[in-house]
């Protein structure tokens, strides 16, 4: 009993080879660069940083001095320190493309990259 033909194997191989190529092209050429980093604490916008003009350095937000961010010269930003137990926010790495986000749920802090001005009446995420 045959489960796969040669054409099926060729199709699967083509998908396996092309998927990383498309991921790389999207990540490095087609992804829209973020313009602003927005930092929310308890679902309230605390900071809005323009990534292209911000100076390199580390900072924390009011109310959470144990959660530290670092703004890099290449226009990216990342969590670098947190007192949460799992450290998932730190392992999320540098963010710089629109649509990327990282969150420190125990501390109710979210970092998100946005590309343009838009209505700021309500955040995209509410942490309770």
- Within 10 A of 95 (CB to CB), how many other CB atoms are there? 20
Does 128 have pLDDT greater than 60?
Answer: no
pTM: 0.68
31 vs 89, higher pLDDT:
89
Contact in structure between 31 and 45 (CB atoms under 8 Å):
no
Give the pLDDT confidence of 62-121 residue by residue, as tens digits.
Answer: 989 999 999 998 889 999 999 999 999 999 999 988 889 999 999 999 999 998 755 455
Q: What is the pLDDT at residue 118?
A: 56
3-state SS string for the chain: CCCCCHHHHHHHHHHHHHHHHHHHHHHHHHCCECCEEEEEECCEEEEEEECCCCCCEEEEECCEEEEEEEECCCCCEEEEECCCCCCHHHHCCCECECCCEEEEHHHCEEEEEECCCCCCCCCCCCCC
Superfamily of domain 36-114: N-utilization substance G protein NusG, insert domain (2.60.320.10)
Q: What is the pLDDT at residue 34?
A: 65
Domain locations along the chain: 1-30, 36-114
Does 36 have pLDDT greater than 70?
Answer: yes
Q: What is the pLDDT at residue 99?
A: 85
Q: What is the pLDDT at residue 22?
A: 83
Q: What is the pLDDT at residue 30?
A: 57
- Within 10 A of 44 (CB to CB), how many other CB atoms are there? 11
Phi and psi of 96, rounded to 5°? Answer: -150, -10
């Amino acid at each position: 009993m045959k489960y796969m033909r040669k054409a099926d194997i060729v199709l699967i191989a083509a998908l396996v080879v092309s998927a990383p190529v498309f991921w790389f092209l999207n990540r490095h050429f087609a992804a829209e660069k973020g313009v602003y980093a927005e930092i929310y604490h308890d679902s309230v916008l605390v900071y809005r940083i323009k990534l292209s003009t911000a100076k390199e350095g580390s900072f924390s937000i009011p109310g959470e001095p144990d959660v530290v961010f670092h703004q890099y010269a290449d226009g990216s930003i990342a969590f670098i320190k947190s007192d949460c137990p799992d450290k998932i926010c730190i392992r999320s790495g540098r963010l710089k493309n629109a649509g990327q986000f990282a969150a420190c749920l125990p501390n109710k802090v979210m970092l998100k990259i946005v590309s343009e001005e838009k209505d700021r009446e309500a955040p995209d995420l509410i942490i309770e």
